Structure 1
Amino acid sequence: MAAETKKKKGIDITVWLLISMIAAVVVGLVVGEPMKNVQFIGDIFFRLIQMTIPIFILCTIVKSVGGLTPQTLSGIGLKGIIVFIVTTGIAAAIGVSLGVTLQPGSGLENSSIVANASFDGEATAMMSIQDTITGFFGNNIVASLSNGSMIQIIIFAVAFGLVISFWRHSHDGECMAYDLCCEVSDLLLNIIRAVMKIAPIGIFCYVSAMIGTLGMDILLPLGKYFLVMLLGMAIMFAIYFIVVPIYCRVSPFKLMKKMLRMTVTAFTTISSAITLPTAMEDAKNRIGIREDIVDVLLPLGVPLNSNGVAIHMAVDALCIAQMYGVHFGPNELLTVWVICTMIAFVNAATPGASLVSLTMMVPALNLPMAAIGIFGGLEYPTGASRTPLNVDGDVFAAMLVAGPDGIDHEIFDTTD
């Protein structure tokens, strides 16, 4: 009977995503430029997912914050923010260290990539640090939802959730707005699950088009750059898989297995926001992290805790400097670390985020704007490299906040 049930279950979506990803790379390389004609199917898939994400995050945070007492929320939130800051700073330091020691941009000074690089500076508005901080606060939540401005949405959601929490505390737990947000969150999760069933098709079309357009002409010369970035991600993962299992008293090998589904989803969709429902579900039902911690920290972590972005931007900064012969001394390297850490706290969390991050970082470090024309076009390979760490880093942060007592070890030990 068990074998019959397993047979009916079929191939897991994780396997289909990996198959579609591999097939897309092969087809993109073989067919080339004509695969651009199917990119619109991948774009439709991402739009179907993204159309629910802003409201889903809003309702999920209101649901989690509104359901907690102010004392509980302040404890979880404060601990989470501290973990976010520390881990992001470590990630940025790893990126800077690897960039300095391994020199990913050396040897590309006279390459055709640098010679032919161009960037339309008017295409994207340059943002100062002051503009970035001001942009955290929206003046219209409807506009914030429409633009997908995650930090603005989260600030509103936390404020609204706090008001609901106090209201429920003084009204015997009753609040129609809270009930509505809970129901909308559950309904949107069902939409996301339904759309994810066609994810392998969307991923195949999107990736094959990207690979067909880029080709190996640009990817091969930047091979060392990708290897350095991947090494940085691997080092950060290694730190997590040593520290977290020891602190939380769980098996690192079981933890790897339980995080596989969210990791593959992040790798193929290159979006922390799209992977959020999967990560929340597995964090609760497979790892056993306390529900209130997951509901607060994982949505907050989407824009605020991006370890992969910190490493990516730091390696980019050093690679660009080396490609254009710009020397960074100790003071400049400290500046790189600070800026890359800050940028990781304003991650756009959707496909296309690299261009936004580069547009903030490159002018802030006085690097040539033409470099954006090179690295801004590498959205999919860089996104696939950094998004798994962004997503898994949020779950690791939740485990660190939960500690051994905040994890249901029965769920962890018994579920697949």
Structure 2
Amino acid sequence: MLTQSKKLGLTSKILIGMAFGFLIGFALRTAFPESQWVTDYLTNGLFHVIGAIFVSALKMLVVPLVLVSLVCGTCSLSDPSSLGRLGGKTIAFYLTTTAIAISLAIFAAVMIHPGNASLASENMEFAAKTAPSLSQVLIDMVPTNPIKAMTEGKMLQIIIFAVVFGFAISHLGERGKRVAALFEDLNEVIMKVVTLVMQLAPYGVFALIAKLALTVDASAFKSVLMYFLVVLGALIVHGLVVYPTLLKLLSGLNPIIFLKKLRDVQLFAFSTASSNATLPVTVETAEHRMGVSNKIASFTLPLGATINMDGTAIMQGVATVFIAQVFGIDLTLTDYLTVILTATLASIGTAGVPGVGLIMLAMVLNQVGLPVEGIALIIGVDRLLDMVRTAVNVTGDSVVTLIVAKSEGEFDSETFHNPEAGKLKGNLTDQVQS
């Protein structure tokens, strides 16, 4: 029995956890539909606690991982032109894929026409927080207090500080090398902690999915089923067609190998619905399973978790057209172009945490004069779509990272083509025995 359990890889364990979580949650909901005990002690008790602890354990690593890994990566870029070229390439790729994503979403929504005017209601309400303006997003990129930025988890500010700090270290000669060596050691420690936390994944995923199965209202799907399917279809096409095509065309790498090695990352993203929480897993996979150097991965992936929100852009594109159709409002070509531009730029200010896409959607709707109240129609299914679009987001982060690494000569082809490279199977047991 013990021998068989060792053969199960992390992906298999996570899938088993997801399946058991859904089955148990669905069974409890069916058998005890009105049970206050189930709600208090399981839904909001045991499952909530285990799931929240797992997500917190992942988020615990995000700030130190981003800071330390990005300082390490920037330290090795002693040439200012290298940093500028790397940053320019990465941001250009991220913004391009986001523009493609929302264009695909709008095209699909216009052609399929998921909106139905009979869904509109005078009683629909949605209290949206005020979305930041683009100018404010740019101003907020530079931290006035780096320590405060770290405690509040403001990723753009942390990235800016880490890049400047690492760049300064790289220009301090011998003293800078000593500091860089310290950060390299810290980076190894953090990656070891990532490996340990990832062993908890099957249990955390089980709890998250069980709670989801107990709380999602099935009736919410009836009125917006077509919207749900259009968004889901666009996400699948973007994740499994557009990204692999770009990877093949721009790097020549095999998309099948890429998708196989990315399964753990996608499952983590799907379970947590948070690009930031998944970041430790994404970095570990890119470096040890796909052969991307730390110099590239430590720069492109934290940046991608912050500004690359293709999945969110797809939701915003479909939702905008859907809400316009529900309220009987015709959008012009200028409106569509405005949505594409606004959603692309809004992705820069969208935090990689669950549910924030709805806040940014309010900004997009305001830009084209659509009623924000329409968001109330899609709240019921947004959690499920949030999980899928987060998986799409991390896929995009990894594709761009591979393309940039290949173009910069910071890519190990042997690691990428080795199916056993970086596998976690048995690692923890081996470490304990040694």
Please, what TM-score do these two structures have when normalized by structure 2?
0.84
The answer to whether the Cα contact below 8 Å between 1:354 and 1:379 also exists between their aligned partners in 2 is no
Q: 2-side partners of 1:114 and 1:180: how far apart? A: 60
1:408 maps to which of 412, 421, 425: 412
The answer to whether the Cα contact below 8 Å between 2:72 and 2:295 also exists between their aligned partners in 1 is no
The answer to whether the Cα contact below 8 Å between 1:17 and 1:268 also exists between their aligned partners in 2 is no
| Cα distance, 1:341 vs structure 2 | 0.6
Q: 1-side partners of 2:107 and 2:367: how far apart? A: 20
Aligned residue for 1:287, secondary structure, equals: coil
Match of 2:9 in 1: 12
Per-residue deviation, residues 181-208 of structure 1 (Å, max 9, x unmatched): 3333333333333233222222232333
Amino acid at match of 2:89: K
Aligned residues: 405
1:14-413 correspondence runs (5 A)? 14-32=11-29, 34=39, 36-37=43-44, 38-70=47-79, 71-104=81-114, 106-107=115-116, 109-111=117-119, 114=121, 117-121=124-128, 124-167=129-172, 170-171=173-174, 174-176=177-179, 178-237=180-239, 238-376=241-379, 378-403=381-406, 406-413=410-417
| Unmatched 5+ stretches in structure 1 | none
Q: 2-side partners of 1:197 and 1:340: how far apart? A: 36
The answer to whether the Cα contact below 8 Å between 2:208 and 2:271 also exists between their aligned partners in 1 is no
| Cα distance, 1:125 vs structure 2 | 3.6
1:227 and 1:6, CA in 2 relative to 1: closer, same or farther beyond 3 A? farther
The answer to whether the Cα contact below 8 Å between 1:348 and 1:356 also exists between their aligned partners in 2 is no
Aligned residue for 2:234, secondary structure, equals: helix
| Cα distance, 1:152 vs structure 2 | 1.4
1:377 and 1:354, CA in 2 relative to 1: closer, same or farther beyond 3 A? farther
The answer to whether the Cα contact below 8 Å between 2:339 and 2:367 also exists between their aligned partners in 1 is no
Q: 2-side partners of 1:161 and 1:89: how far apart? A: 31
- The two structures, once aligned, show a CA RMSD in angstroms of 2.6
1:410 and 1:44, CA in 2 relative to 1: closer, same or farther beyond 3 A? closer
Amino acid at match of 1:347: T
| Cα distance, 1:275 vs structure 2 | 2.0
Moved more, 277-286 or 56-65: 277-286
The answer to whether the Cα contact below 8 Å between 1:233 and 1:389 also exists between their aligned partners in 2 is yes
| Cα distance, 1:72 vs structure 2 | 2.7
1:373 and 1:297, CA in 2 relative to 1: closer, same or farther beyond 3 A? same
Aligned residue for 2:349, secondary structure, equals: coil
1:378 and 1:274, CA in 2 relative to 1: closer, same or farther beyond 3 A? same
Per-residue deviation, residues 279-327 of structure 1 (Å, max 9, x unmatched): 2222233222344222221121111222212212211221222222222
Amino acid at match of 1:130: S
Aligned residue for 1:401, secondary structure, equals: helix
1:88 and 1:126, CA in 2 relative to 1: closer, same or farther beyond 3 A? closer
| Unmatched 5+ stretches in structure 2 | 34-38, 421-434
Per-residue deviation, residues 82-141 of structure 1 (Å, max 9, x unmatched): 21122121112111211221222x22x323x856532235xx344333333333333212
| Cα distance, 1:216 vs structure 2 | 0.7
Q: 1-side partners of 2:233 and 2:108: how far apart? A: 8
Per-residue deviation, residues 45-101 of structure 1 (Å, max 9, x unmatched): 212221221222111111111222223322222221221122121112111211221
Match of 2:423 in 1: none
Q: 2-side partners of 1:196 and 1:323: how far apart? A: 43
The answer to whether the Cα contact below 8 Å between 1:42 and 1:205 also exists between their aligned partners in 2 is yes
Amino acid at match of 2:220: I
Q: 1-side partners of 2:134 and 2:88: how far apart? A: 24
1:357 and 1:21, CA in 2 relative to 1: closer, same or farther beyond 3 A? farther
Moved more, 224-233 or 361-370: 361-370
Q: 1-side partners of 2:64 and 2:51: how far apart? A: 22
**What percentage of aligned pairs have identical amino acids?**
27
The answer to whether the Cα contact below 8 Å between 1:60 and 1:299 also exists between their aligned partners in 2 is no
| Cα distance, 1:391 vs structure 2 | 0.8
